[in-house]
Amino acid sequence: MLKKKTVLKFILGLKIRQLRIRQELSLKELADIADLSVSYLNEIEKGKKYPKIEKLAALAEGLKIDLGELLSFKTGRNLHPLLKFMESDMVENIPLELFGLSESDVVELMGHDPEKFASFVLTVLQLTRAYDVKMEDVYSAALRSFIEAHENYFSELEKIAKKMRSEWSLSSEDKYYEELKTILQRKYNYEIDEQVLADDVLLADKKVLAKRAKINKLYLHSSLTDEQKTFYIACELGHIILGHASDSQDHSFSVTLQNYRSRYFAGALLLEEKNFSKDLKQFFSQTKFDGSLFLQLIRKYKANSETFFHRLTQMFSAHFKIDDIFFLEVHEEDGAVKIKNELHLTQLHGPHGVRMSEHYCERWIAVKSLKQVQNSPVALAQISIAENGSEYFSLSLAEYSPHLKNRISYTIGFALRPELRSIIKFLDDKSLNRIPIGQTCERCAKLDCAERTTPATLYLKKIRDIDSARRIVELTS
């Protein structure tokens, strides 16, 4: 993140450079006037140094302005968006270090051509306002980029989970709930409440809430399944073991990252790496796809479906060396289908999220499985052919959530590559349907699609725009 001190140095340097150029002074000329070395003045203009007050006074005199004006945060109109951007919470909280960037890297990028960068920033700020982008949206995007850059696999967290499984002497999946609950209560002095959230109207939508103080408390919603409760207890144990900060009111990116690490730890604890990858190899070695066997595998590990699917992406990237993967979590809310979570390893795969106001293709297996859920979970698989010709094997599980009172599907998709066929043996199963899929109904070129739920407004507009551009060329050439 950019510190306020860095912002202060950068703005000072920009102002000095602007004023020097406006007065047609070279670096050497201003340096001589202010009794500074050229190299030191250059460092000041680049935002790397902040001179003492007497040097600032000499620079102000050389630039023919008051010292107060030089030290103010006011900038010219063309750089004002850049100043607003640098002062925003967004910049202060962006985790630069996660992406191998330092403050000096960002300052150098902005300082190379501040006017152009300011124009770019203004565009970004206008977009964030237009689409109501909040800090949590920025954090989520940064976290997804971080996860994707590491292929959603963190060996150090796997090692910690393995160590704790041994120390806690966890026995079998059937007993995890009671065992982990006992560890949290007795070893870490937690009280566990499974009723307050359900009884409080203001908190009824919360699945879990932690109080970390003199008296530690974990509140779990009573509508959660035992698998979900086990997962959240494991997350809280991860929070403790990983030494995360206890301030639950902090909403910085560090908390977002801590929550992810705790969830990763929980998944690694509940679905032990070695045994889980072994069972996956056995399941995918079948020559026929069997959805009931897939559901049995999930039930064996007593894991909630979301954790199971995230664990799938981790195992495929680490143990099967397959990283052309996407993950989608899709919810049906008030009759509308919405993507709540997605992950794309290696590249942006299809399908993926677009504007929430559009209608996702009903041929997506993520949507198809969602529509088929009644009282029991549904597991489906198909080979999807995207509009660009890319082919994916997609595996989806859909279920009803008693807590959310809606249907949810979890889907993992693999780009069809020769190496995938050596792992997933049922890819040649004739019962696997090969289905062309679009992105949304609004963008789909298949006008006679039987599954269409709304007109192809965006596709037809695109065609009209192309025809209009062609007609303009005919008239003007």
> pLDDT value at position 393?
95
Residue 400 clears pLDDT 60, i.e. is over it: yes
Q: What percent of the chain has pLDDT over 90?
A: 47
Residue 398 confidence class, pLDDT cut points 50, 70, 90: very high
> Residue 269 contacts by C-beta under 8 Å, 6 or more apart in sequence?
161, 164, 165, 170, 234, 237, 238
* Strands, sheet with 190-193, edge to edge from the N-terminal-most edge strand: 190-193, 216-220, 208-211
Bridge partners, residue 327, by sequence? 343, 412
**For the ranges 6-10, 20-24, 244-248, which has the lowest average pLDDT?**
244-248
Buried residues in 42-51 as b, exposed as e (16+ CB within 10 A): bbbbbbbbbb
Pairing mode, strands 190-193 and 216-220? parallel
HEC-encoded secondary structure of 1-67: CCCHHHHHHHHHHHHHHHHHHHCCCCHHHHHHHCCCCHHHHHHHHCCCCCCCHHHHHHHHHHCCCCH
Residue 249 clears pLDDT 60, i.e. is over it: no
Per-residue pLDDT, averaged over 8-20, amounts to 82
Average pLDDT, whole number, for the chain?
86
**114: left (phi > 0), else alpha (psi -120 to 50), else beta?**
alpha
pLDDT in tens, 322-347: 989 999 999 998 888 898 888 888 77
Tokens coding 340: 């709540």
Q: Look at residues 283, 322, 315, 313 and name the one whose alpha carbon lies nearest to residue 300.
A: 283
Rounded-to-10 torsion of CA 74, 5, 13, 117:
-80
Phi, psi of 422 (to 5 degrees): -75, -15
**Do residues 343 and 326 lie in contact, with contact meaning Cβ atoms separated by under 8 Å?**
yes
The residue type found at 1 is M
Per-residue pLDDT, averaged over 452-464, amounts to 91
> pLDDT value at position 18?
80
pLDDT in tens, 161-185: 999 999 999 888 889 999 999 999 9
Checking 369-374 for CB contacts under 8 A at 24+ apart, the result is 369/396, 369/397, 369/398, 369/409, 369/411, 370/330, 370/332, 370/337, 370/398, 370/407, 370/408, 370/409, 372/398, 373/398, 373/399, 373/400, 373/407, 373/409
